[in-house]
Chain A
Amino acid sequence: MPHRTFFAFILPSILAMALFITLPIISVVVQSLFVQHEAVLITVENCTPFGCETQTRVDTEAMAKLQEERPLGQFAGFANYFNRNHLALSEIASILSDNQGIGDIVGRVFNLPFYKALSFTLVYCFLVTPLAMALGFAIALAVNTLPRLLKGPTIFVSILPMIITPLVGSLILAWMFNPTGILGASLQSLTGDPTLSLRASPVLTWIVLLAYGVWTNGPFSFVVFYAGLQTVPQDTVESAKIDGASRWEVIRHVIIPHLAPLATFVALVQLMDNFRVFEPIVGFSAEANATSLSWLVFNDLVGQDSQLFGSAAATSVITIIGVLMLVAPVLRRTWRDFTQKAV
């Protein structure tokens, strides 16, 4: 295909990407470098049905003037990135210079909101991704051996978790894990512990969230791997069997190597997805025990009375950098394979 034709085809897509992806990212980066104007406060008397009180309020006229001069607010450089609610550099420095051993350091660092969120985000990312891929692969192998008649319904049931909206899925599971819900109550009676609640302790909450993650992410791996299984060369499989290979050996030495490139693709997509974990935290009301980077952004922007755009933007940029760091090794490998093949 001539370059001109290629560009003519790809141009609309490039334009759309610039408009809907690149520009917003640039605006977020710019926003993250600013804080709001210094508020001009005046003391006034406020009267409500419950009496009058002397309180401060913002002098809106003075603020409107400031806003007009510099609409983005005050330039703050990287202050938003380094303050306590994000990377907390000075807090980390003081923890490292004055502490009582490693336990104390860990405890105090993970008390900082960003690192607390990061710890859950990373654990979720690195446990859910491989477990969900393993689950998806196992389902794909199982479905592949089913008689034709059963395949359709089984596939449908298997991809249900992916079809359900994540928030709805997490709410359904949250209700089932409620102590009065079917799973919560069964667990209580099985363990004989009437006070057992999966939502009360951090460890159990994390386990439930991880289990949800595997449940909801498994079908994606399943679909991709199932499609991949249809392309496994039957000649190789049959010759392996004639050579006396067991079913496990066929999987280990024929199917897995064949699906390896697909696994790289699935891992890439899943890592990026899981790094942005958000819905289960809200669905399970797990904010007390687990927060994620996306939840921090959400918390800065909604649900309260004032919005912190600079702070939210800084967390977003850090999230983007985090995703890039996560997928860098996989991307590098893909690039190497690509260049090697080209040679």
Chain B
Amino acid sequence: MKFTKTFAAGAVSLAALIAGTAAFADCGIQGAGSVRILSNDFEALRIVNDVATSCATAAVTVTANATAEHKNIQGPALTVNPAEYSVAVVANNSIVPLLNEDLIRPLDDLVAKYGQSLQPNQLIKIDGKVMAIAFMGNGQHMFYRKDILEKAGVAVPTSYEEVLVAAQKIKDAGLMDYPLAASDKPGWDLAAEFVNMYLGTGADFFAPGSAELAIDNENGRKVLETMRAMTGFMNPDYLTYDANELNKIWDAGSVAIMSQWGSLAGAATDPATANADIAANTAFAAAPTIGGGTIPAAALWWDGFSIAKNISDADAEVSFQAMVKGISPETVAAHPHAATWLVAGYEPGPAAVGVIGNATGGARAYPMQPYMGLLHTALSAELADFIAGKEEADQALADVKAAYDTAAKEGGFLK
């Protein structure tokens, strides 16, 4: 896998050399060294990686490894000295282990030197120091079918309560048996659903300034109740659907309203890949509110790049320059629909409506507390029984707390 990627990267740079006058052949990178990118694997990141790899010259080598396993690789790969990768493309959650282990470097001086094209809100500042550069926003929001809602005579829902009413009407009208869908597969996806809705209640996951869990309350119960009510309108196989699976059943035309990632919105409406009839009737909106709340019940995510600590300063300098080129306004201008870019000059297209709606609606960012990952793990395993209908909300919340406390003690966050 890695070999083929390296090979492909080599081929790209070779092609650029042969072309000689290719637009990206010279990115004006100062210095010499090697750029080694590790990133997640979806379209927008592949575009950024491709632009960065096209910057390779005789003095600068660039390789990229885009893989869904990046979270499992990044820790060990950046711990060794020199690090296996010079650039780690991260998000709200995956930057936390790197910060906890002190594996990425502050970027303030590099930003001052090479970051003229960056906007102030792209800088991820931890305790006043720039630790990553964000380039796109993401989040789960509502996908809906215009034609089905119209036939059922319902307006576009803005709260989960309205979503349930709309689902009932669609079902009653005989349009669909299972109008709703969400990524309820036990594991990361199921936990993310809970996190989204809980953020929408406005409450916090932890007692202020500590790792003490604080979800066993009315808000937690409201979230679980809503999740359970939604499953009544879902295909009986809902326990096996993750985010990628959702796009398939959406494309098959069997769902009217679902909660899905903004980064997959482009694929759902892309005439090249999507079912034309469905794509024409697919529309996006901000995530619904929950329990009378006023903000979209979804976490806001940013994707950005960070530079490894355990590499030479020369590698860090060329890596930073190559990545700034990768996320430059020119890249965004060439691929305006690939993501909800946070880069200067970006005009949001129709596929970005949901994520922008979340952000302008005041949705909250996915928490960056060091123990949030442990809670996510506890939720992912312990909510399975509840969402399968095998236990009640009180028991589920108690189980989550017990599992989290155990893990947090082992992780050294609780006594």
Q: Do A and B actually bind?
A: yes
Tell me whether A302 and B121 are in contact (CB under 8 A): no
Tell me whether B406 and A84 are in contact (CB under 8 A): yes
User: Is residue A144 within 8 Å, beta carbon to beta carbon, of the partner chain?
Assistant: no
Q: Which of B2-10, B19-27, B47-55, B407-415 contacts A (4 or more CB under 8 A)?
A: B407-415
How far apart are the CA atoms of A158 and B415 in the complex, in Å? 56
User: Is residue A319 within 8 Å, beta carbon to beta carbon, of the partner chain?
Assistant: no
User: Is residue B312 within 8 Å, beta carbon to beta carbon, of the partner chain?
Assistant: no
Q: Which residues of chain B have C-beta atoms less than 8 A from A63's C-beta?
A: 100, 102
How far apart are the CA atoms of A57 and B415 in the complex, in Å? 17
Q: Which residues of chain B have C-beta atoms less than 8 A from A99's C-beta?
A: none
How far apart are the CA atoms of A144 and B402 in the complex, in Å? 56
Q: Which of B158-166, B180-188, B269-277 contacts A (4 or more CB under 8 A)?
A: B180-188
User: Is residue A6 within 8 Å, beta carbon to beta carbon, of the partner chain?
Assistant: no
Determine which residue in B134, B186, B412 has the highest number of CB atoms from chain A within 10 A of its CB, and name it: B412
Tell me whether B370 and A39 are in contact (CB under 8 A): yes
Interface size on B, residues (CB 8 A): 74
Tell me whether B403 and A178 are in contact (CB under 8 A): no
How far apart are the CA atoms of A74 and B124 in the complex, in Å? 33
Interface string of A305-316 (1 = CB under 8 A from B): 111101100000
Tell me whether A47 and B125 are in contact (CB under 8 A): yes
A residues 41-65 near B (Cβ < 8 Å) are: 41-53, 55-58, 60-61, 63-64
Tell me whether A50 and B359 are in contact (CB under 8 A): yes
Q: How many Å from the CB of A188 to the closest CB on chain B?
A: 11
A residues 271-299 near B (Cβ < 8 Å) are: 284-289, 299
User: Is residue A13 within 8 Å, beta carbon to beta carbon, of the partner chain?
Assistant: no
Contacts A55-B368, A200-B239, A289-B239; A49 near B137 (Cβ below 8 A): yes
* Chain A residue at smallest Cβ distance from B415: A38
Q: How many Å from the CB of A182 to the closest CB on chain B?
A: 16
User: Is residue B377 within 8 Å, beta carbon to beta carbon, of the partner chain?
Assistant: yes
Q: Which residues of chain B have C-beta atoms less than 8 A from A84's C-beta?
A: 402-403, 405-406
Q: How many Å from the CB of B76 to the closest CB on chain A?
A: 10
| Partner pick for B93 among A50, A305, A308, CB 8 A cutoff | A305
Tell me whether B97 and A113 are in contact (CB under 8 A): no
Q: How many Å from the CB of A136 to the closest CB on chain B?
A: 30
How far apart are the CA atoms of A48 and B303 in the complex, in Å? 11
User: Is residue B57 within 8 Å, beta carbon to beta carbon, of the partner chain?
Assistant: no
User: Is residue A334 within 8 Å, beta carbon to beta carbon, of the partner chain?
Assistant: no
Tell me whether B370 and A57 are in contact (CB under 8 A): yes
Tell me whether B377 and A304 are in contact (CB under 8 A): yes
Tell me whether A80 and B410 are in contact (CB under 8 A): yes
User: Is residue B174 within 8 Å, beta carbon to beta carbon, of the partner chain?
Assistant: no
User: Is residue A195 within 8 Å, beta carbon to beta carbon, of the partner chain?
Assistant: yes
How far apart are the CA atoms of A46 and B95 in the complex, in Å? 12
Tell me whether B412 and A304 are in contact (CB under 8 A): no
Tell me whether A38 and B385 are in contact (CB under 8 A): no
* Chain B residue at smallest Cβ distance from A61: B102
User: Is residue A189 within 8 Å, beta carbon to beta carbon, of the partner chain?
Assistant: no
User: Is residue A85 within 8 Å, beta carbon to beta carbon, of the partner chain?
Assistant: yes
Q: Which residues of chain B have C-beta atoms less than 8 A from A239's C-beta?
A: none
B residues 340-372 near A (Cβ < 8 Å) are: 342, 359, 363-365, 367-372
Counting contact residues on chain A (CB < 8 A from B), the size range is 35 or more
User: Is residue A197 within 8 Å, beta carbon to beta carbon, of the partner chain?
Assistant: yes
User: Is residue A35 within 8 Å, beta carbon to beta carbon, of the partner chain?
Assistant: yes
How far apart are the CA atoms of A48 and B91 in the complex, in Å? 11
Q: Which residues of chain A have C-beta atoms less than 8 A from B237's C-beta?
A: 178-179, 197, 199-200
| Partner pick for A41 among B92, B128, B211, B405, CB 8 A cutoff | B211
Tell me whether B101 and A306 are in contact (CB under 8 A): no
Tell me whether A308 and B411 are in contact (CB under 8 A): yes
Tell me whether B97 and A49 are in contact (CB under 8 A): no
How far apart are the CA atoms of A83 and B399 in the complex, in Å? 13
User: Is residue B236 within 8 Å, beta carbon to beta carbon, of the partner chain?
Assistant: yes
B residues 121-173 near A (Cβ < 8 Å) are: 121-128, 134, 137
User: Is residue A37 within 8 Å, beta carbon to beta carbon, of the partner chain?
Assistant: yes
Tell me whether B300 and A50 are in contact (CB under 8 A): yes
User: Is residue A154 within 8 Å, beta carbon to beta carbon, of the partner chain?
Assistant: no
User: Is residue A202 within 8 Å, beta carbon to beta carbon, of the partner chain?
Assistant: yes
Tell me whether A47 and B236 are in contact (CB under 8 A): no
Contacts A36-B410, A58-B370; A46 near B97 (Cβ below 8 A): no
Tell me whether B99 and A299 are in contact (CB under 8 A): no
User: Is residue A153 within 8 Å, beta carbon to beta carbon, of the partner chain?
Assistant: no
Contacts A50-B359, A285-B240; A305 near B413 (Cβ below 8 A): no
How far apart are the CA atoms of A47 and B134 in the complex, in Å? 11
* Chain B residue at smallest Cβ distance from A36: B412
Q: Which residues of chain A have C-beta atoms less than 8 A from B368's C-beta?
A: 46, 48, 53, 55, 57
User: Is residue A192 within 8 Å, beta carbon to beta carbon, of the partner chain?
Assistant: no
Tell me whether B388 and A46 are in contact (CB under 8 A): no
Contacts A74-B412, A305-B96, A306-B377; A56 near B137 (Cβ below 8 A): no
B residues 171-218 near A (Cβ < 8 Å) are: 185-188, 209-211
Q: Which residues of chain A have C-beta atoms less than 8 A from B373's C-beta?
A: 304-306
How far apart are the CA atoms of A178 and B240 in the complex, in Å? 10
Tell me whether A56 and B370 are in contact (CB under 8 A): yes
Q: How many Å from the CB of A269 to the closest CB on chain B?
A: 31
User: Is residue A264 within 8 Å, beta carbon to beta carbon, of the partner chain?
Assistant: no
User: Is residue A111 within 8 Å, beta carbon to beta carbon, of the partner chain?
Assistant: yes
Determine which residue in B185, B187, B300 has the highest number of CB atoms from chain A within 10 A of its CB, and name it: B187
Tell me whether B406 and A85 are in contact (CB under 8 A): yes
Q: Which residues of chain A have C-beta atoms less than 8 A from B123's C-beta?
A: 47
| Partner pick for B94 among A58, A200, A305, CB 8 A cutoff | A305
User: Is residue B374 within 8 Å, beta carbon to beta carbon, of the partner chain?
Assistant: yes
User: Is residue A101 within 8 Å, beta carbon to beta carbon, of the partner chain?
Assistant: no
Interface string of B105-130 (1 = CB under 8 A from A): 00000000000000001111111100
Contacts A48-B134, A306-B97; A288 near B409 (Cβ below 8 A): no
How far apart are the CA atoms of A44 and B127 in the complex, in Å? 5
Ranked 10 nearest A-B pairs via Cβ: A305-B373, A60-B102, A44-B127, A306-B373, A200-B236, A285-B240, A47-B125, A36-B412, A304-B377, A288-B239
Further contacts, 11 of them, CB under 8 A, given A41-B209, A57-B126: A49-B137, A49-B342, A55-B368, A56-B209, A84-B402, A113-B382, A179-B235, A285-B239, A288-B240, A303-B72, A305-B94
- Chosen A-B contacts, 10 in total, with CB atoms closer than 8 Å, are A44-B128, A46-B125, A49-B134, A55-B369, A57-B370, A91-B402, A111-B391, A199-B239, A302-B72, A304-B380
